[in-house]
Amino acid sequence: MTDALPNIVLILADNLGWGELGWGELGCYGGGVLRGAPTPRIDALAAEGLRLLNFNVESDCVPTRAALMTGRQAIRTGAFQSVPAGLPQGLTRWEVTLAELLSGRGYATAHYGKWHLGDCEGRFPNDRGFDDWYGIPRTSTESLFTAAHKYDPEAVPLPYVMEGRRGGKTHNVKIFDEDSRRRIDGEIVDRTVAFMEKNAAAGKPFFAYVPITQLHFPSLAHPDFMGRTGHGEMADSLAEMDHRVGQVIDALDRLGIAENTILLFASDNGPEFRRPWRGTAGYWRSTYHTAMEGSLRAPFMLRWPGKAPAGGVSNEIVHVADIFPTLARVAGAELPADRAIDGVDQLDFLLGRQPRSNREGFVYYIKNEMRAVKWRDWKMHMIWEPEVNDGPVKLESPYLFNLIQDPKEETNVAVEHAWVMPAMRRMVHDFLQSLKKHPAIPPGAPDPYEPPVRK
């Protein structure tokens, strides 16, 4: 049975905004050649499968990765913000990860890239369902430490590239500095390809989770790509990303397993807001860490030759938490029944068997604060902060935008479209009720974690 299961390759880019990505010369998400870096391999990937225009993520690296790994919105797991080394962080072991689900179905599992869901023993990828891992436990920002003025490793620990195997301990490989930051995506993809080769040869279904580190700042490209585009490090890094994705696709094709492999490519959140690494959401407004569409919508594409129709494009709403139940279904795995799962199975929609998504909306948090609700064509903002650090304004009278007619979220239609507000309010009510029934895990909760008794 298990040898009929399809392989799964999930490439997750870091801080790659909707506007950054080109459809190569067609500039599908509006970027590509406009950003100085055509992306022909990623373009081809989408042209051969499905591209979502309304794929929604959480507000930051950590909450999106937590939702992806658990199918639960990050407010539930407590992993709703980035936490530096030395402070409690990550998913409790009570959570069931996607890797654990797939591993239970006989998949070989590997994590190559950026984890950010726990940096102590028991919470590393090799403790959470992955047979093998290599990468960074936290985030690329730390590669700036060692070269920084007066950096003191006694006060703040040296960052390392790490690796680990199931049943063993995660250990340091090398210091994570500017040089290793430039090289890590190449190493990640080399290991991914080797992992695919090994399991293809063994005829074992595999799950390769590949959270590459580009374009997160410092967006420094591999030495082979430095100066490649003539438009600076951001564009060079984008060109490298396109090449890395191409390497994975080439390996799938070379190994003859493309038709038995679901390839997913997505980004964890909207574009960077910091300068000089500032990104762009293109068509949409603002950056991550906001509740604007530039934060919510991230690139997403799926390629599965012979299963998902080529050239598909959809503006239907999908949420990153949906990946968990969707891939569980692919693998025939049962979802945990003792907790709230926010994700919904989107397999039939993603494979073109039905035109509509199985989701009409979702509630959106920044850290532990509910900021907005999206439903059908509309979005309601309860707290308004169009740019990071503008200062959030709690709205006594929420704003409502029609995202088709007003994509930049500029014209409040809460009066004209008053009928929509009750639907929005109901979603808020229902979500808060489910949080009462299934109390959220507090951030930084230590293991072992015991969920509170429910009434």
x/- mask, a copy of itself, residues 40-79, rule CB under 8 A, reads -------------x--------------------------
By beta-carbon proximity to a copy of itself, the closer residue of 74 and 238 is: 238
Question: What value does the CA radius of gyration of the chain take, rounded to a whole number of Å?
Answer: 21
Q: Which amino acid is at 341?
A: I
- 438 CB contacts (<8 Å, ≥6 apart)? 76, 339, 340, 451, 454
The secondary structure of residue 157, as a DSSP letter, is P
Residues in the interface with a copy of itself (CB under 8 A) total 35
**Min CB(234)–a copy of itself separation in Å:** 6
Alpha-carbon gap, residue 172 to 158, rounded angstroms: 10
> x-or-dash pattern for a copy of itself, window 76-105, by CB under 8 A?
------------------------------
Cα–Cα distance between 425 and 400 in angstroms, integer? 12
Q: Which of residues 246-275 bind a copy of itself (CB under 8 A)?
A: 275
Q: Rounded to the nearest 10 degrees, what angle do helices 233-254 and 178-202 cross at?
A: 10
* Residues forming beta bridges with residue 402, ordered by sequence position: 378
> Of residues 7-36, which lie at the interface with a copy of itself (CB under 8 A)?
19, 23, 25-31, 33-36
Smallest separation, CB 213 to a copy of itself (Å): 20
Residue 283 vs 449, nearer CB to a copy of itself: 283
Q: SS3 breakdown of the chain: % helix, strand, coil, rounded to 5?
A: 30, 20, 50
Residue placing its CB nearer to a copy of itself in the complex, 25 or 224: 25
Residue 286: count of CB within 10 angstroms of its CB: 25
**290 neighbors 297 (Cβ within 8 angstroms):** no
| 3-state SS string for 344-370 | CCCHHHHCCCCCCCCCCEEEEEECCEE
Task: Verify binding: residue 442, a copy of itself, rule CB under 8 A.
Answer: no
- Which position among 28, 111, 116, 381 bears the catalytic label? 116
Task: Choose one: 98-106, 128-136, 202-210, 402-410; the region binding a copy of itself (CB under 8 A).
Answer: 402-410
Is 28 a residue of the active site? no
CB 158 within 8 A of CB 146: yes
Q: Which is nearer to a copy of itself, 367 or 408 (CB)?
A: 408
- Unique residue bearing structure tokens 């795995």: 333
Q: Which of 5, 162, 235, 424 binds a copy of itself (CB under 8 A)?
A: 235
Give me the residues paired with residue 149 across strands. Answer: none
**Does 232 contact a copy of itself by CB under 8 A?**
yes
Which tokens hold the place of 63?
Answer: 């909450």
Closest CA to 167 of 122, 209, 206, 210: 122
342 to 381, contacts with a copy of itself by CB under 8 A?
377
Give whichever of 261 and 295 is closer to a copy of itself, judged by the CB atom.
295
What minimum distance in Å lies between the beta carbon of 35 and a copy of itself? 6
Q: Which of 121, 259, 410, 430 binds a copy of itself (CB under 8 A)?
A: 410
243 is catalytic: no
Considering the complex, state which of residue 184 and residue 317 has its C-beta at the smaller distance from a copy of itself.
317
Question: By CB under 8 A, is residue 231 in contact with a copy of itself?
Answer: yes
Compare residues 30 and 63 and give the one whose CB is closer to a copy of itself.
Answer: 30
* Residue 162 and residue 135 in contact, taking contact as beta carbons nearer than 8 Å: yes
Cα separations (Å) of 227 from 177, 221, 238, 239, 327? 20, 9, 12, 10, 39
Catalytic residue among 61, 111, 289, 319: 61
CA dihedral 432, 438, 440, 441 (to 10 degrees): 180
Stretch that binds a copy of itself, among 86-94, 188-196, 367-375, 407-415 (CB under 8 A): 407-415
Q: What's the DSSP call for residue 7?
A: E
Which residues of this chain interact with a copy of itself, rule CB under 8 A? 19, 23, 25-31, 33-36, 53, 231-232, 234-235, 275-276, 278, 280, 282-283, 311, 313, 315, 377, 404-408, 410-411
- Active-site residues: which are they? 61, 116
